[in-house]
Amino acid sequence: MHMPGHKRQAIAGGGLPLELDITEISGFDNLHQPEGILQQSMQQAATLYGAKQSYFLVNGSSGGILAGICTACKPHSTIIMARGCHKSVYHAVELRQLTPVYLCAELDETFGVAKSITPEQVKQALAAYPDAALVLLTSPTYEGVISDIASIAELCHAHRIPLMVDEAHGAHLGFSPRFSGGAVAAGADIVIQSLHKTFPSPTQTAIAHRNGDLINAKEFARQLSIFQTSSPSYLLMAGIDDCLHFVQKNQSELFDAYVQRLDTFSQAMVQLKHLRILCHGKDRFENHGGFFAFDQGKIVISTRSTSLTGTQLKDRLRDEFCIELEMAMGDYALAMTSICDTDEMMQRLTDALLAIDATLSPAQTPLPLTVSLPPMHLAPWQAQLEDSAIVSLQDAENEICAESIWAYPPGIPLITAGECITSDFLCQIRLLLEQGVELYAQTSDFPHQIAIVLR
């Protein structure tokens, strides 16, 4: 006689394991005040990753990111952050009314993806903003590029400033010599990971790790209770627990097979004549001097110098070969792999790419625009408080944007509220739209209209 209403009987739930969907009854603990099996499970997760403390997240990495930033940053403080952060970071900037200082990664010349954030960039920012409340980086990036977290953590700690790493795409790092670069072992103070992205765990499941003494444990737990539901799904928490036990028990076998599949794929990609795969096939990690490390589980397929756009490649793989990719941008597409891929799945991707490549010929394609960071006239939260108007895109040049615009995935803003709508930005938007990239806005009917700040 307790919630939930279906009483664990599969009356309307179809194939869902509703017998596992319980609530905080005796013996099943409470995520927001764990003292029993959930506490034990989270302690096991901390041991597995080498963290001081770990927390289950049932609101995805986004909930952990919001909680982490609100723990480290008092209202109206300064945050040093990579510009290529997920939109949830920008939401926290708005909620906490923070002043962002952006670290902008250079673009790789051959593939057009962002390089690593360097320790030197962080060192200069810390010198210029010694009172910053937090440094926040994304590593690995959506495309798999990893930064030197250990060196950056050392710099931050010398200033007694915590380092937070959005490692949503890196829950698998550190489980094999071929997958190094994990932020927990590198000394980051808060690390947020999406288990569901690279491990066999249900969508919406993630995990947060706390290290060191720069993050108040009680305040972090309090913020997590704010940004997570008070009725956490036991299906999701059981999924996290099951996933971590599965990986721990089968670690060597899983990762040895994973590495072998990726090596076989990479060897086959040497045959490509037109498409190129980042750090696979003929392309080598050594060709990318701006990468500290790279996650080879990310398959970044460049269509540059072919007649295809990234979106067209993604469509062809779906329509002709029944292969659904993760995302596509202007001149590349991204396939995500994991320990759960099979030999057959990797072979199908291999055969499909070789087949498409055989139909291509060299072609002149526009190089991606090198777009400078739009000038920031107002902090994002300040722009949100101003009166705004909706105007056509062609009438918006030199106005102050009143909303964020992004491609999703990956959910990284191309422009944020408070920044100037420059001619460079408008050219970038037009090119992405021509290439079939879907863009989203917070309020307006973009791309036909855009919200601007009334001045």
pLDDT tens digits for range 384-429? 999 999 999 999 999 999 999 998 888 889 999 999 999 999 998 9
Beta bridge partners of 55: 208
In 227-275, beta strands by DSSP E: none
What's the distance, Cα to Cα, between the start and end of the chain in Å? 59
pLDDT tens digits for range 210-268? 999 999 999 999 999 999 999 999 999 999 999 999 999 999 999 999 999 999 999 99
pLDDT at 371 (0 to 100): 64
Stated length of the chain: 455
Cα dist. 227→53, 65, 413 in Å? Answer: 18, 9, 22
* Residue 177: band (very low, low, confident or very high) from pLDDT cuts 50, 70, 90: very high
State how far Cα 300 lies from the chain centre: 15
Question: What does residue 389 show for φ and ψ, rounded to 5 degrees?
Answer: -140, 155
Which of the given ranges, 12-21, 207-216, 403-412, 436-445, has the highest pLDDT on average?
Answer: 207-216
pLDDT at 230 (0 to 100): 92
* Residue 5: band (very low, low, confident or very high) from pLDDT cuts 50, 70, 90: very low
Mean pLDDT of 184-205: 95
Which residue is listed with tokens 């036991």? Answer: 234
Which of the given ranges, 135-139, 180-184, 326-330, 365-369, has the highest pLDDT on average?
Answer: 135-139
* Residue 13: band (very low, low, confident or very high) from pLDDT cuts 50, 70, 90: very low
Which residue is listed with tokens 């001149």? Answer: 331
User: Measuring CA to CA, which residue among 435, 438, 382, 445 is closest to residue 406?
Assistant: 438
Asked if residues 200 and 182 have their Cβ atoms less than 8 Å apart, the reply is no
Domains in the chain (CATH in brackets) are 23-245 (3.40.640.10), 252-358 (3.90.1150.10), 380-453 (3.90.100.10)
**Model-level pTM?**
0.94
Asked if residues 356 and 278 have their Cβ atoms less than 8 Å apart, the reply is no
* Residue 455: band (very low, low, confident or very high) from pLDDT cuts 50, 70, 90: confident
d(CA 422, CA 78): 25
pLDDT tens digits for range 337-370? 999 999 999 999 999 999 999 999 999 876 665 6
What is the amino acid identity at position 100?
P
pLDDT tens digits for range 70-111? 999 999 999 999 999 999 999 999 999 999 999 999 999 999
SS3 label, residue 108: coil
Higher pLDDT, 8 or 311: 311
